[in-house]
Amino acid sequence: MEQSAKSSRPLVVFSDLDGTITVQDSGCILIDAAIGEARRREFDHLALSGQIQFRDSLRMMWEAVDLTWAQAVAMLDVVQLDPHFVDFVQFCITRSVPVTVLSSGLEPMIEHILSERLEPEYRKHLTIISNGVEVLDRKWTIHFHDDSPFGHDKSLAIRSVKRQYSSSSEVPIFVFIGDGVSDISAAREADILFAKKGKDLEKWCQTNEVPHYTFETFADVISKLNAPV
Ligand SMILES: [Mg+2]
């Protein structure tokens, strides 16, 4: 994308969580503890090559997790937010830009990570749409957001919000920020797409010639959205 992102039209922001808002992938931390990174990558390969559906790979990996909720929460202590994510939320609050977190992760984990690391005024500015989970003793059962092969088709929320504005005189610019394979459906819906440098979403954009900005931290996102015309 060569043109400036700045416009007088209002912005509506959607963002992935793991590997985008957070530096580490919280799901991978727990799944790797259960099955190891190599086995997880095998599941990723099976899903990417279409041998199994993404939702089935997620379900099988989460079913392998053998942790109590307390053990899992303790393991999430290492998860850090992008160093400029708070600045980004403040940027959006100041401009009345809504921010929806679209995640293939599990809602109680996301809530824990965000509420532990963000002041309440920043946390409450974020809407979360994700999968759910039930943890009974050490058994993890994922509850998918929808019936799609992704388990959570991130394009659905964006299309739903777009419909709300379809008859509006001032149609917003829809922004999506992501890093991974689960972000591809949402990426197709974005007017302005940010793909994390060196990750799968950026590679997919390059392969499919999808216009995008590359970012390393949310400072880059702020800078682009704030760029003068
Ligand atoms: Mg991600």
Each residue's pLDDT tens digit, 208-228: 999 999 999 999 999 999 875
DSSP lists the bridge partners of residue 174 as 12
11-24+79-225: in CATH 3.40.50.1000: yes
User: In the prediction, which pLDDT does 181 show?
Assistant: 84
Do residues 143 and 173 make contact, with C-beta atoms less than 8 angstroms apart? no
13-45 tens-digit pLDDT: 999 999 999 999 999 999 999 999 999 999 988
pLDDT of 4 strictly over 60: no
Listed residue (160, 193, 13) closest to 92, CA to CA: 13
Catalytic residues: 16, 18
What separation in Å is there between the alpha carbon of 229 and the centre of ligand 1? Answer: 30
Give 27 Cα–ligand 1 centroid separation in angstroms.
Answer: 10
**61's tokens:** 């990996």
- Residues of the chain with pLDDT > 90, as a percent, come to 85
* 3 state SS of 132: strand
The two structure tokens encoding residue 173: 């610019």
Expressed in angstroms and rounded, the spacing between residue 133 Cα and the centre of ligand 1 is 18
**So where are the chain's domains?**
11-24+79-225
For 53, 60, 97, the CA distances from 42, given in Å and listed in that order, are: 13, 12, 39
Ligand 1 centroid from CA 167, angstroms = 32
Give the DSSP H or E segment for 215: strand 213-215
Mean pLDDT of the chain: 93
Q: 8: CA distance to ligand 1 center in Å?
A: 29
Between the CA of 66 and the centroid of ligand 1 the distance, in Å, is 23
Give the model's pLDDT for residue 3.
46
